[in-house]
Amino acid sequence: MNRAIINILICFCIFIGLPKITKGQIWPTDLWTDVVNAQPEGYVTDFEGNVHIYTAEGLAWLSVLSNGLHGQDAEEFENRTVYLEENIDLTGHAWTPIATYIWNGVYEDNHYFKGVFDGKQHLINNMILSKDFDISYVGLFGNIISGEIRNVVIDNCRLDFYYETAGYGRCGLLAYMLDESSKANDCYVHCLDFRTNVGGLFVEVLSGSSVTNCMVHYDFKYETDYGCGICDINQGVIMNCASIIDTLQWPYWYEPSGIASINDASIKNCYSFWGELVAFPFYSPIAPRNGVAADNEDGVAENCYYNKMPQVWQFDDSPGYGGMFQDVSEFDIENDDWQLMNPIAIGGATTNDLVEVLNLWIDSQPNGNDYLHWCADTTGFNHGLPIFANYDLTSVEDQCENVNIVVFPNPTTDIVHITGDNISKVNLYDMVGNTIIDFKKVGQSKITLDIKELNDGIYMIRIENIKGNSIIQKIIKQ
């Protein structure tokens, strides 16, 4: 059945009504920018003009300045860096996005952030975004133009920008819009409750902008129009990212997507996960999975993965419509590990392990150091799905067990030394996937490989310890 018929059936659903989930919440009656009307001690400008923020009031003052509130001239922070120096708690007041559209009583004033915001992995806790105020486009930020946000960690946020009869909520948890080659790098957001008309981690990623090493986890998510994990419209590049939705309420109008609703550009090395589905439509036998992008007519999605849905209803298990999907696969749980339904070959190695395939892609890139590696979550918070290794997602201890393996020298002309705890297996592959070395011996701490007879070039080495933890790394033979 074609997409036009599907949309007709969706429209019919609206008239018969779909069940909604409601949760009793106490929402703030004022904004942080209402209560912070003068520069607080937690906002410090250094001699170079860069800003250091130590308190929730200091972050609110950044919003005041960027939006030109309380008689301040609106600042765009171009060529300046804002550093978050401490964990902060935004409990008690709703959040006004940094540099957004503000209603002044006559029209909306547009504001833009053009600097760099470095969260330094400090925790922003309990951010609340509410439709009860004259703000159209919401998130931690509104509009980022030729700017950058990095190392931002947000936990326990709540968002209610759903308009049932009037208005239109457009919400991105990190920012509404990235435009003009803006960047979002190394960020993590955990949202308890997300309700709006359109939104995700961003709404729009435009004009050469990029989202790299970012992860979002929604406990509950509902959008009336589409439904996405990372962004609704992608005209930039989304790389090495993940979206996890524990409970997804099916949209009224269209279809949900794993990564982007509309992909007009590029999505690489990402995965998406849906858990429970609620308000599932009556036309379910043809309901699409859209594991990557619902509309990929003008885009390319490569090395992307999405979970197989264990629903009673039969899904169309496709990654989306149109365009180019290359090396994409569903994944499912098998022996307590997430395994691809179709093995993927990258850089000469082939695997069906989700963590391993994500890391293989990174190690096959000439700029692989730009990407965070993955490991399996061991806490259960992320369903055992891949999380970023060596990155403190929620300001607690690292969730990945350290494999403690070192490979040197690299590049090398003849000998490769491997040191680590309880090494049990070493495999060396050439770039077409042929196994060159297959070493198995339990409990080793030092291993030496002689590769002087091998041709010069790039090889992939996989090293595993007795607990089954492994690393994959490039070796250059000169």
User: In whole angstroms, what is the distance from residue 142 CA to residue 220 CA?
Assistant: 22
pLDDT of res. 398: 42
User: In whole angstroms, what is the distance from residue 174 CA to residue 177 CA?
Assistant: 9
User: In whole angstroms, what is the distance from residue 433 CA to residue 231 CA?
Assistant: 35
pLDDT of res. 354: 94
User: In whole angstroms, what is the distance from residue 64 CA to residue 31 CA?
Assistant: 11
Model confidence over 366-420: pLDDT tens digits? 898 899 989 887 766 778 899 887 554 443 334 455 556 778 888 888 888 888 7
* DSSP-assigned beta bridge partners for residue 125: 89, 155
- Say if CB 100 and CB 129 are below 8 A apart: no
Model confidence over 46-101: pLDDT tens digits? 988 999 999 999 999 999 999 999 999 999 999 999 999 999 999 999 999 999 98
User: In whole angstroms, what is the distance from residue 217 CA to residue 246 CA?
Assistant: 8
- Say if CB 257 and CB 226 are below 8 A apart: yes
One-letter identity of residue 464: E
* DSSP-assigned beta bridge partners for residue 113: 144
User: In whole angstroms, what is the distance from residue 444 CA to residue 472 CA?
Assistant: 18
Considering the entire predicted model, what is its pTM? Answer: 0.80
Residue 8's SS3 state is: helix
Q: Report the run of H or E that residue 66 belongs to, with start and end.
A: helix 56-67
pLDDT of res. 15: 30
In SS3 terms, 247-272 reads as EEECCCCCCCCCCEEEECCEEEEEEE
Structure token pair of residue 130: 């509410």
One-letter identity of residue 45: T
Model confidence over 274-304: pLDDT tens digits? 988 887 665 544 566 788 998 999 999 999 9
pLDDT of res. 432: 58
| Domain assignments of the chain as residue spans, ordered by start | 3-283, 405-477
Structure token pair of residue 362: 């990174």
Best-predicted range by mean pLDDT (113-122, 289-298, 371-380, 456-465) = 113-122
User: In whole angstroms, what is the distance from residue 370 CA to residue 379 CA?
Assistant: 26
pLDDT of res. 213: 96
Model confidence over 420-441: pLDDT tens digits? 777 888 888 776 567 888 887 7
Computed over every residue of the chain, the mean pLDDT equals 83
pLDDT over 50 (residue 156): yes
Q: How confident is the model at residue 25 (pLDDT cuts 50, 70, 90)?
A: low
The CATH number of the structural domain formed by 405-477 is 2.60.40.3080
pLDDT over 50 (residue 23): no
pLDDT of res. 108: 66
Residue 169's SS3 state is: coil
CB within 8 Å of 467: residues ≥ 6 apart: 401, 422
